[in-house]
Amino acid sequence: MFDFDLIQCGLIVLFLMVAGEVISHKLKAIVPSILASAVLFLILVWSNVLPASVIQDSGLIHLTTIAMMFVILGMGISTNIQELLANWRVVALAAISYIIQTLFIIVIISYVYDLNTAIGGLPGGAAVALIVQEQARSMGHEQIVLLSVLLLSVQGLVACPLVSWMLRKEVSSSLRLMNDKGTDDSVPLEITNTKAASSNKKRSHQSPYWS
């Protein structure tokens, strides 16, 4: 097994992330990039090419909290308010589903396990997992940290490919519908191009965040 210093470990982690993105792009997002990076990491660790502590040795793990703050901030300021209000049913459905899941976990699962373990299994992505792990470590509950990692791993292994397949199917259906409308002779081509040009002109004068 090779020995790497701080900079080399950081470059290796970044290389694995880039390789995962390339693999996901080549496979047309059938395999998520994070899953491809994780598989490459496991192969290199099991082959004794990389040490298992390369991520910790890179020092990048200490930047996760700050990075997630910028990610959440970017998600907030890039939200289109008009589109959010227009799709209020989707927002309401997502909010109701999270509320039901949270109540189910806290009210029912807490009777099977303790309340801290139930809260550690709350649904969410990487940002929620990092918050849960940080709080669990501060409270000394290392088993909750492990539970959060396992749930996030299962979510990335099962849910991400499923969502990717569903999105690809929806995009293909939407493109097919758009092509069918584009070949409709009842709508003159000049009128369609004029409407598209006027729409693009209006959008160019709007704010990318609050349009």
Residues 6+ apart with CB under 8 A from 43: none
Write down the pLDDT at residue 96. Answer: 92
Cα separation, 206 vs 211, in Å, equals 5
Name the DSSP class of 1. -
117-143 b/e (C-beta count within 10 Å ≥ 16 → b) = bbbbbbebeebebbebbebbeeeebee
Helix 142-154, helix 126-139: angle, nearest 10: 170
Cα–Cα distance between 31 and 141 in angstroms, integer? 33
Pair of tokens at residue 176: 């097919």
pLDDT at 107: 80
Mean predicted confidence (pLDDT) in 56-76: 77
Specify the pLDDT at position 125: 67
Pick the residue with more confidence: 208 or 149?
Answer: 149
The owner of tokens 């409407």 is 195
Phi/psi at 189 (nearest 5 deg)? -65, -35
* CB contact at 8 A, 122 and 100: no
Q: What would the pLDDT profile of 4-34 be if each residue is shown by its tens digit?
A: 788 888 888 889 889 988 988 888 777 778 7
pTM for the whole structure: 0.55
- In angstroms, the Cα distances linking 166 to 97, 159, 171 are 19, 10, 9
Q: What is the spatial distance between Cα 63 and Cα 69, in angstroms, rounded to a whole number?
A: 10
Q: pLDDT tens, 169-206?
A: 888 888 888 887 765 544 444 444 444 455 554 444 44
Query: What six digits make up the tokens of 50?
Result: 């990389």
Q: What pLDDT digit, counting tens, does each position of 101-154 carry?
A: 878 877 887 777 777 777 776 656 666 777 777 777 788 877 777 777 777 777
